[in-house]
Amino acid sequence: MAINGAKKTHIVCEANVNFNIASEYLEMLSKKELIRHENGFFITTDKGKVFQEIAKELKL
């Protein structure tokens, strides 16, 4: 979702969660360096892309 960058509103709509829950998840993903927040967009980091591929292989 955020590979090319996504605003919080888009993430909330696509994930079908409220802003508070999205904020908690985005904060956790940022702390784990899986995403970064830049100019109002959330962007998946290289580490996040690797995690995403592993998760996809494991069907998580």
Alpha-carbon distance 40 to 11, whole Å? 12
Look up residue 44 and give its two tokens: 């998946």
With a cut of 70, list the residues of the chain below it in pLDDT: 1-3
Alpha-carbon distance 37 to 45, whole Å? 10
Which pLDDT belongs to residue 58? Answer: 96
Which pLDDT belongs to residue 4? Answer: 76
